[in-house]
Amino acid sequence: MLRWVRQQLGFDPPHQSDTRTIYIANRFPQHGHYVPQKFADNRIISSKYTVWNFVPKNLFEQFRRVANFYFLIIFLVQLMIDTPTSPITSGLPLFFVITVTAIKQGYEDWLRHKADNEVNGAPVYVVRSGGLVKTRSKNIRVGDIVRVAKDETFPVDLVLLSSDRVDGSCHVTTASLDGETNLKTHVAVPETAVLQSVANLDKLVAVIECQQPEADLYRFVGRITVSQQTEEIVRPLGPESLLLRGARLKNTKEIFGVAVYTGMETKMALNYKSKSQKRSAVEKSMNSFLIIYLIILLFEAILSTILKYAWQAEEKWDEPWYNGKTEHERNSSKILRFISDFLAFLVLYNFIIPISLYVTVEMQKFLGSFFIGWDLDLYHKETNQRAQVNTSDLNEELGQVEYVFTDKTGTLTENEMQFRECSINGIKYQEINGKLTPEGFSEDSPDGNRHSLMREEELFLKAVCLCHTVQINADQTDGADGPWHANGIASPLEYYASSPDEKALVEAASRVGVVFTGTSGDSMEVKSLGKPERYKLLHVLEFDPNRRRMSVIVESPSGEKLLFTKGAESSILPRSKSGEIDKTRIHVDEFALKGLRTLCIAYRRFTPEEYQEIGKRLHEARTALQQREERLADVFNFIERDLELLGATGVEDKLQEKVQETIEALRLAGIKVWVLTGDKHETAVSVSLSCGHFHRTMNILELVQHKSDSTCAEQLRQLAKRIKEDHVIQHGLVVDGTSLSLALREHEKLFMEVCKNCSAVLCCRMAPLQKAKVVRLLKTSPEKPITLAIGDGANDVSMIQEAHVGIGIMGKEGRQAVRNSDYAIARFKFLSKLLFVHGHFYYIRIATLVQYFFYKNVCFITPQFLYQFFCLFSQQTLYDSVYLTLYNICFTSLPVLIYSLFEQHVHPHVLQSKPVLYRDISKNAHLGFKPFLYWTILGFFHAFVFFYGSYLLMGEDTSLLGNGQMFGNWTFGTLVFTVMVITVTMKMALETHFWTWINHFVTWGSIVFYFIFSLFYGGIIWPFLHTQDMYFVFVQLLSSGSAWFAIILIVVACLFIDVLKKVLYRHLQPTSTEKAQLTEAGSGINCLDSMCCFSDGETACTSVRRMLERLMGRCSPTRVNRCGISLNSLCCRRFSYKLEPDEPAAIDV
């Protein structure tokens, strides 16, 4: 019962052990001392709530927000003490916000429950009691043997026991997990691979020991102990034995596997749990503004309380004849009365804190994020991929980026590899007409005549064909002739590979005569110039980023044990003791200067004694349950030594389309680009030059190949000195991983100083964690710049998660980067529109939204404060309680929401073609202290005009109403409220540049709705209201011509200052954005932001009218044509604008 309660509340009991022991088919030991481990059931729970915890858990999460908690306190205060306003005024808006949010979250969670039920109820087959039993997915237990058929998805994480193939292998695709569509081979241990029937499996007695669940998809450590008669056989289990939930079985009729991780402990479920929350700069500013307004609220409440007691110090005001105190009031404590009055004023002014701000911002972010996915300019037709948003909380952060950290391979390049050159035994070769030709030789022989390969060439190509993880389409591995035509030329095999480099190399080898034809059991088949050879695969030493190499140990047809190794030259050459090492190193550097990706290939022969020692060490390391990775790394290093170098390869990776233009645009926008890559120094520099990251005129500084702190520090000081001496020219910095480690260890400050003075930085030979360290270094520097990381592979995940904004490229290295990113795009070139258009719009919209909310609440509550000076601080409210309640919910909420979704103050095409406009919004320019102060002062100014304008125009007049009655308290308050609703709505209209029918509908509709509601509310006697203060007040107010005159005059007086400021600032101190504020439609330019475009014969009147239309952002092609202006005659059809002295050159549109 207790466990059930804990599960319902969302708590999982911690595991007591580092490993789990699984008895296959749940055949537990018979002795009485054994206590079975408890495992999770196989239910997938993606929902957040249950029926039992929805209300408390949702309320707890909502009241963690400062604004919601604040209004809850105010509501409770209104319930406890006698306050001037009804508890409904605070309770109803709070209830509305809480309810709307709860309904939204509840509906989303119901959809998740519905999806979970479909998954958990899916039919599966398990082996029980000697036969196959059909059950539901949620009923699978750890230890059950599960059967999965072809094209079905695995319902749990399974250890493969057997398949319909003799060798116990099967093929799967993990597209739903990591996006990789290539076939991956998984194998069973030999002892269980032969058990291909249900009857045989039911007799299996075996135990699996493995690690507890973890999220890493590619890590699994375990061992299986199979009991056969009197002996027990122990076999290691690794990732090649584990079939992950969500993966799909391919090219295999059926498999049997034992469930090891179930339900929420499967790797798929662990990977889809929420990541650490990133907070945008706008959200931080919003919280700061809330604190400032809370201080203003407390100040007003304290001041009002003090003034009340100062006023009441005179006896005639303390107890006037018409309002005598009761005996209880006279005898009550002065301290308690002071606190009570303070709380009453706090309640009276509490609406200065905008309760609906959070819910409006949430709606704006959620709805606004759809525009990225709908943008056809971010759609990649070739791959049928559109941009996707994984988190909408950072939309506006796209408009604040100062540093971009990008991977190279697959991000700047296509990750489509083409074999170009190779070096074999110190001789450079090129592929010409499907033949390896030494450099300097021409190839004139016809295609059909194949020349024989030299021994070194053949061994090199065999190493390429054997040392890889490439798979072949199963349909192509059949047939006696294999992949050869009658004329002896190899037909193209369809290879699958997780690494494009491997695929390119194997395809190149097949074109020149050494063809990898597939695997059969534990053998790899190769045809060398048509002669088939079979190599037995003994061991695979998997690639890892630390070793930067992979190896295979094979047995040749002659029985010789061989090790083939390939990897980065930095990890192969130091381990080579023979071969043309020096010549190969020179060739590798030459390949790198051409921008080619390089790999070195070597081999080693084992004696029987050496192989026996290696096999023993490998078995011990692979079967270890503790520190398996460290033990394997030690064994791999022991094996991969004393190598004989065979040669090196050079593979070209083409640049993606418009990479150079995108990087140049980022530079013009004031964004610094850092390239972080694992590639060789020369390769990385070559690609940086070709993609425009480095310019030919740029002074390239280098911090590479340093082995000690002292040399690294000295070099950094020299670089800093050179930068100061040559401050006129631009500098680029190249740093490698080793030197970077030294620089970050002791000389972080000096390193940062050098980097910040460089226009571009290139970091090569970087490990994944080093990439994250560099991002963190910039992110936590004193300037606190906003960082963006973009990459396409698993090695980029750490920096993507570290940066303020992480962007994944939907490339060919799986989907791990996409899954862990905040946004995902198909190509690097889409980054420009994502930042310059969407980021710009989102930032401008939400900056205006946040500040407008505070402005309209200052306008709302300040008249309430001023009114207290006229009512002896008696806490009399100026507005009716219904108006207090509905002001933020109904009367002023929609115009700003629609503005925040659709506003386009500059045409998207202009924003993208003029990256320099991005500088206008950088460093939180529109949401800093100055803009906030302006909006706040404007709110106070408008509030003073509302109150004192109404007071001066109407307050002393006693005969304004049509029936001869004088103005009363509620009439005066209604007049102020009416002027306020119209003014704040019109203020939003002034801020709007891009008008759609929706904007018109909600702007004018909000004002009309207010009038209709007020007429309806004041025109009926409502039986459920205990007072009828507003009965006929609004009707009588509107019946007075003077009231209409006052409304119009006060609204114009308020907004005239805004219009005047806009005119003066735009023409005296225009920003770059205001200079370029134009819209473009069809084939021409429609309007400009000032009188810089003229047509022949245009009159001054027409020019002024056009300027005012443009000033308000409402210029359209039809209006321009009505002004007598032909679009084709505009002088700035092709335009650029004058820049400020510190701005870079403009880009013409």
Give the other-Cβ count within 10 Å of 558's Cβ. 6
Write down the H helix ranges in 821-968.
830-833, 840-867, 881-886, 894-902, 908-913, 929-950
Give the orientation angle of helix 87-120 with respect to helix 357-368, to 10 degrees.
Answer: 40
- Report the helix count and the strand count for the chain, using DSSP H and E: 41, 37
What is the spatial distance between Cα 701 and Cα 763, in angstroms, rounded to a whole number?
Answer: 12
Please report, for residues 178, 498, 819, 823, the alpha-carbon distance to residue 815 in angstroms, rounded to integers and kept in the order given: 4, 12, 6, 12
Say if strands 643-655 and 413-424 run parallel, antiparallel, or are unpaired.
antiparallel
CA distance 1110 to 843: 22
Asked if residues 1034 and 915 have their Cβ atoms less than 8 Å apart, the reply is no
- Per the CB < 8 A criterion, the answer to whether 172 and 249 are in contact is yes
**Amino acid found at 195:** L
Burial class of residue 30 (count of CB atoms within 10 Å of its CB; 0-12, 13-18, 19+): exposed
Q: Round to whole Å and give the CA distance between 581 and 572.
A: 10
| CA angle in degrees (0–180, nearest 5) for 782-783-786 | 125
Cβ contact 71:89 at 8 Å: no
- CB within 8 A of 624, min separation 6: which ones? 221, 631
**C-beta of residue 991 within 8 angstroms of C-beta of residue 852:** yes
- What DSSP string runs through 785-829? --EEEEESSGGGHHHHHHSSEEEEE--SS-SHHHHTSSEEESSTT
Q: Can 407 be counted among the known catalytic residues?
A: yes
Judge contact between 413 and 847, C-beta under 8 A: no
Judge whether 996 and 888 are in contact, CB under 8 Å.
no
- What SS3 class is residue 426? coil
Quickly list DSSP for 545-568.
TTTTEEEEEEE-TTS-EEEEEEE-
* Rounded Cα gap, residues 436 and 457, in angstroms: 9
What gap in Å lies between CA 476 and CA 517, rounded to an integer? 9
935: which 2 tokens?
């909006």
The H or E element that residue 78 is part of is helix 66-80
Q: How far is CA 935 from the centre of its chain?
A: 31
What is the phi/psi pair of residue 147, to 5°?
-100, 130
In 3D space, the residue among 454, 471, 646, 472 whose CA is nearest the CA of residue 562 turns out to be 646
Could you tell me if 494 and 506 are in contact, meaning their C-beta atoms sit under 8 angstroms apart? no
Q: Is 1028 helix (H, G, I), strand (E, B) or coil?
A: coil
The amino acid at 1033: V
- Judge whether 311 and 317 are in contact, CB under 8 Å: yes
Q: Cα separation of 803 and 787, whole Å?
A: 5
Residue closest to 353 by CA, chosen among 850, 848, 854: 854
Strands 823-825 and 805-809: parallel
User: Using CA atoms, how far apart are residues 637 and 843, in angstroms rounded to an integer?
Assistant: 52
Strand (E) or helix (H) holding 773:
helix 768-779
Catalytic-role residue among 157, 178, 393, 407: 407
* Contact in structure between 981 and 894 (CB atoms under 8 Å): no
CA atoms within 13 A on the CB side of 906: 27
Known catalytic residues? 407
